[in-house]
């Protein structure tokens, strides 16, 4: 299977309605260029600021989420698959960092709640996502019109076991909506995308918001959304400004790579193994 994927590295504003209509127009542009899969960034509907996230939270289960309604309409209108970045989701009195995957019929095919929350303490910079969000409780891999896709949100990329699990369950592609910042982005964002792709011989697509240098944000975004192939090759990428990165995915090269270098067969299951405790969502 061969198709175009678009990573919408959008500039996020403080006004939700504007973000929703802006994302809609980026999706339209990507679909008009022939993209069959469109990926949005982590927290595209509102600024990634712990001070205001709660005010922007949406109830996805009650079907009253303006962000997901827009994605559903867009997916159905253009007959594409959308990995809908993430939005703050409220559910049962808790807040989650949640990604919905929508099929070309506009239905939600999967919902991933960020599993690994980003708590960091560096000199002069600390960040505690777990003060605001609750933890997701399972991996998410979904069969779509454009292959079997595993989902991780940002910090989820740091934990190789999650990607290995997706590979074991047959993933062709892992999508990571993310929003790496200036302190870890430069050194690690691309490195980890390439590592997850190489470890598991699959495609990795990572989509960030654009950096807004003018905003007085407590979180400066690194950007650099990219599509990486199974040899760790960068197929398409960008800098930190708003951009729609379009790349070609050809799943037939997965088989070639896996035959050339049969890592799965070479693994020493007699010495080490990943234990899957999840229920198989
Ligand atoms: O793991 C990191 O360095 C950054 C993670 C992050 O920015 C996030 O999860 O939002």
How far apart are alpha carbons 81 and 101 in whole angstroms? Answer: 7
21's tokens: 């209509």
Q: Which residues contact 53 (CB under 8 A, 6 or more apart)?
A: 43, 46, 88, 95, 132
Residue 241: which pLDDT band, with cuts at 50, 70 and 90?
A: very high
79's tokens: 């007959």
Q: Give the per-residue pLDDT at 213.
A: 78
Q: Is the pLDDT of residue 96 over 90?
A: yes
Residue 263 · residue 201 · CB < 8 Å: yes
Residue 87 CB less than 6 A away from ligand 1: no
Residue 116 CB less than 6 A away from ligand 1: no
Lowest mean pLDDT among 24-33, 101-110, 207-216, 254-263: 207-216
Residue 189 CB less than 6 A away from ligand 1: no
How far apart are alpha carbons 127 and 118 in whole angstroms? Answer: 7
Tell me which of 16, 114, 129, 190 is the catalytic residue.
Answer: 114
Tell whether ipTM is more than 0.90: yes
Q: Is 186 a catalytic residue?
A: no
**pLDDT tens sequence across 246-259:** 999 999 999 999 99
Q: Is the pLDDT of residue 127 over 70?
A: yes
Nearest to 253 by CA among 271, 227, 273: 227
Check residue 124 and give left, alpha or beta (phi > 0: left; psi -120 to 50: alpha): left
Q: Give the per-residue pLDDT at 281.
A: 58
Tell me which of 4, 36, 42, 111 is the catalytic residue.
Answer: 42
Q: Which atom of ligand 1 is nearest to the CA of 180?
A: 7
Q: Is 114 a catalytic residue?
A: yes
**For residue 11, how far is its CA from the centre of ligand 1 (angstroms)?**
18
Q: Which atom of ligand 1 is nearest to the CA of 156?
A: 9
Q: Give the per-residue pLDDT at 216.
A: 56
Residue 64: which pLDDT band, with cuts at 50, 70 and 90?
A: confident
Q: Give the per-residue pLDDT at 141.
A: 98
Q: What percent of the chain has pLDDT over 70?
A: 98
Distance of CA 115 to the CA centre of its chain: 12
Residue 180 CB less than 6 A away from ligand 1: yes
Nearest to 175 by CA among 201, 141, 152: 152
How far apart are alpha carbons 112 and 118 in whole angstroms? Answer: 16
**C-alpha dihedral (159, 163, 166, 168), degrees to nearest 10:** -100
How far apart are alpha carbons 166 and 156 in whole angstroms? Answer: 12
Q: Mean pLDDT throughout 64-84?
A: 97
**pLDDT tens sequence across 190-232:** 999 999 999 999 999 999 999 987 765 667 899 999 999 999 9
Nearest to 74 by CA among 113, 38, 110: 38
Q: Mean pLDDT throughout 25-46?
A: 98
Q: Sign of the C-alpha dihedral, residues 212, 53, 121, 125?
A: positive
Pairing of strands 203-207, 173-177: parallel
Mutate which of 85, 98, 154, 191 for ligand 1 pocket (most atoms within 8 A of beta carbon): 154
How far apart are alpha carbons 48 and 166 in whole angstroms? Answer: 27
**For residue 26, how far is its CA from the centre of ligand 1 (angstroms)?**
24
**pLDDT tens sequence across 132-145:** 999 999 999 999 99
How far apart are alpha carbons 184 and 208 in whole angstroms? Answer: 14
Q: Give the per-residue pLDDT at 247.
A: 98
């Amino acid at each position: 299977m061969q198709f175009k994927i678009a990573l919408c590295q959008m500039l996020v504003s403080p006004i939700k309605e504007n973000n929703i209509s802006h994302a809609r127009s980026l999706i339209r542009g990507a679909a008009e260029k022939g993209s069959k899969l469109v990926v949005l960034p982590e927290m595209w509907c509102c600024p990634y600021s712990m001070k205001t996230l709660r005010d922007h939270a949406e109830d996805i289960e009650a079907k009253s989420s303006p962000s997901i309604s827009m994605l559903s309409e867009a997916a159905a209108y253009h007959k594409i698959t959308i990995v809908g970045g993430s939005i703050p989701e409220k559910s049962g009195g808790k807040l989650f960092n949640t990604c919905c995957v929508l099929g070309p019929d506009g239905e939600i095919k999967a919902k991933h709640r960020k599993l690994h929350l980003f708590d960091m303490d560096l000199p002069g910079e600390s960040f505690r996502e777990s003060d605001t969000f609750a933890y997701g409780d399972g991996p998410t891999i979904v069969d779509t019109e454009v292959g079997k896709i595993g989902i991780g949100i940002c910090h989820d990329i740091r934990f190789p076991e999650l990607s290995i699990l997706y590979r074991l369950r047959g993933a062709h592609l892992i999508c990571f909506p993310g929003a790496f910042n200036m302190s870890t982005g430069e050194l690690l964002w691309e490195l980890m995308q390439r590592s997850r792709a190489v470890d598991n011989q699959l495609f990795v697509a990572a989509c960030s918001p654009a950096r807004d240098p003018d905003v007085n944000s407590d979180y400066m975004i690194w950007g650099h959304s990219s599509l990486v192939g199974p040899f760790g090759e960068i197929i398409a990428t960008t800098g930190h400004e708003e951009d729609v990165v379009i790349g070609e995915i050809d799943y037939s090269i997965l088989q070639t790579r896996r035959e050339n270098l049969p890592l799965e067969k070479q693994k020493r299951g007699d010495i080490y193994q990943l234990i899957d405790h999840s229920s198989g969502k």
